[in-house]
Amino acid sequence: MREILSVLEADARATPDRIAALTGIAEDEVRAQIAAWEADGVIRRYKTVVDWDRAGDSRVTAFVDVTVAPERGRGFDDVAERIAKFREIRAVHLVSGAQDLRVEVEGASMKEVADFVAQKLSGVDRVTATSTHFLLRRYKDDGQLLTDPEPDQRLSVMP
């Protein structure tokens, strides 16, 4: 059944009959499995990857490394869940290394993102430090290359 999820992950618009043709699983079984995964929350949503630079939308993205003061019996889940509720937050991940969380923040300008980090994120209880890294350019997003392929420079071969 992993094959069904792999096809949907690569192309959220794949129809059950297309998935059946690609995987060899009966179409009715594909439909039933997808419905069950949607009901169980395995499939959270269907997504389109947009190249916002090409679309002319100049949003600013930053990755913020967050250090959290540990507290016995609470772990990082409560802090991560509080941070995830901010509308500016696109993603929150627990990571290994010097920091505890890596947060993706989006805003209309660098100032807006910087103000969010300084005024809201840094003020969350148990957040002891942040380190902000602004995204300069996306080359690949969610598995999709965002760069144009280089033109083929080879000479054609004539028989």
pLDDT tens, 78-121? 999 999 999 999 999 999 999 999 999 999 999 999 999 999 99
pLDDT at 68: 96
pLDDT at 146: 81
pLDDT at 140: 87
Q: Which residues pair with 141 in a beta bridge?
A: 144
For residues 66 and 130, the answer to whether their CB atoms sit within 8 Å is: yes
For residues 66 and 123, the answer to whether their CB atoms sit within 8 Å is: no
- Give me the mean pLDDT over the 41-53 stretch: 84
- DSSP notation for 131-145: EEEE----SEETTEE
d(CA 12, CA 37): 14
Identify the three-state secondary structure at position 93.
Answer: strand
Helix, strand, coil fractions of the chain, as percent rounded to 5: 35, 20, 45
Identify the three-state secondary structure at position 64.
Answer: strand
pLDDT at 49 over 80: no
pLDDT at 159: 67
Whose CA is closest to 138, among 22, 84, 58? 58
Q: What percent of the chain has pLDDT over 90?
A: 69
State the greatest distance between any 2 C-alpha atoms of the chain, in Å, as a whole number.
75
More confident residue, 19 or 151: 19
pLDDT tens, 3-36? 999 999 888 999 999 999 999 999 999 999 999 9
